[in-house]
Structure 1
Amino acid sequence: MGSARSAAAGVLGVLRSIQTDGVEATLSKFNLGDLAGQPIDQIFAGLTDVICEPGGNINDSIATDAWIETITELDQLGVDDLDSLSSEQIEGIFVSFIAHSIETRLYQDIGSKGIQSGKDTDAVRAFEAQLKDYIFRAVSDSVPSDVSSVGNLNDAEIRSVVNQTYQDAWELLEIWGDEE
């Protein structure tokens, strides 16, 4: 999940820049000044190649998918004005991105490693919803409770959050598969 961890650092870097330097200055820094004044989802979509490594391998795709999923949740996260982006909103975006990265990686690993489960699709859907909730809560609990310090997480701390949450979620999947 190296690309996702790098992208997580990129998410924090871009959001900190928006918060401290402003939207226009941040977009100009990445030669995306033409996005200034556009809707937030378009601005964030335009930042995809800045945050996520462009490429074709699975890890790059995981980061890109997680970023796109995060963009679709901006309304739910209360992000409606980038000029007044709060520390709480930065934390919400960061947690959402990390959670989606872990979730996407788990699904990719299920496809390649396989998990045995029953044929009851309702049970699978219910477990999927529980797993998503677990991942989101685990990531939320792993980031500092002082929201202003989320932006100061270093690569090792991000790696630790991602690796531990992924490992715990994978173990839950294995237990669930064994019970079916």
Structure 2
Amino acid sequence: MSNSRATAGGLAGLARTFATQGPAEALRPFNLDGLAGAPAVDVFVALTDALCPPGGTIDEAIARDAMLETIATMAAEGVGNFDDMTPADLQEFFIGVVSRSIEGKILNEVGTNSIRVSPDLTSVERVQRMLHEFVEGCVRDRFSSFGSNLADVTGQQIDDFVFDLYEAAFNLMQAMGDAL
């Protein structure tokens, strides 16, 4: 989960700088300041390439996939320009990426047979939905316990809660897999 935690930390830093210094400054550490004012989807795709370049390890691929899935969801919802994003919009992006990263890592564990699940497709789909709801709910709950301001969340808090939630989701999947 180290790359997922690093990605989450990068997104929290982006939100922190966005809130205090504006969009162009938030993008400057990633050499993307020229994209200020561009569609948010374009900015986040470029940010994905900066934080999680293609061709990396499995953990890097999981973090990259989590970002791209979250961007696709935002695009379907009709997100506008990056400069027009609110702290709440950045928070939703962060929550989406963290949730999907944890889910991706757990599903990778299922794929490598570290967690056993039923061969029945209907059961697997039900477990996957339950995992998604559990992880996203936990991420939202933990995030709101920090006061729900992404700009104020520290890197250590991110590391701790991503690791803790991964462990809880892993244990849940093991228990569900054993029960099926």
* TM-score range normalised by the length of the shorter chain: 0.7 to 0.9
Q: Which runs of 5+ in 2 are unaligned?
A: none
Q: Choose 63-72 or 114-123, whichever is displaced more.
A: 114-123
1:143-176 CA distances to partner (integer Å, 9 max, x unpaired)? 134222x222222211111111111111111111
**Equivalent in the alignment of 1:61:** 61
Distance 2:77 2:144 in 1: 18
The question of 1:71 aligning with 2:71 is answered yes
Matched, 1:142 2:149: no
Identity of counterpart residues, as a percentage? 30
Q: 1:106 maps to what in 2?
A: 106
Give the letter aligned to residue 130 of structure 1: M
Aligned-residue Cα RMSD (Å) equals 2.3
Alignment of 1:7-86 (within 5 A): 7-52=7-52, 56-75=56-75, 79-86=79-86
1:48–1:64 Cα contact (<8 Å) kept: yes
Cα separation, partners in 2 of 1:3 and 1:55, compared to 1, 3 Å: farther
Structure 2 distance, partners of 1:76, 1:138, is: 24
Distance 1:95 1:140 in 2: 7
Q: CA distance change for structure 1 residues 91 and 50 in 2, over 3 Å: closer, same or farther?
A: same
Return the TM-score normalized by structure 2.
0.85
Report the CA distance between 1:46 and its aligned residue: 1.0
Q: Look up the equivalent residue of 1:48 and give its one-letter code.
A: T
Q: Structure 2 counterpart of 1:147, which letter?
A: S
**Is the deviation greater in 167-176 or in 16-25?**
16-25
The corresponding residue for 2:132 is 132
CA apart distance, 1:129: 0.8
Shift of 1:78: 7.4
Letter in 2 for 1:32: L
Aligned mates of 1:27, 1:17 — CA distance in 2:
9
CA shift for structure 1 position 20: 3.3
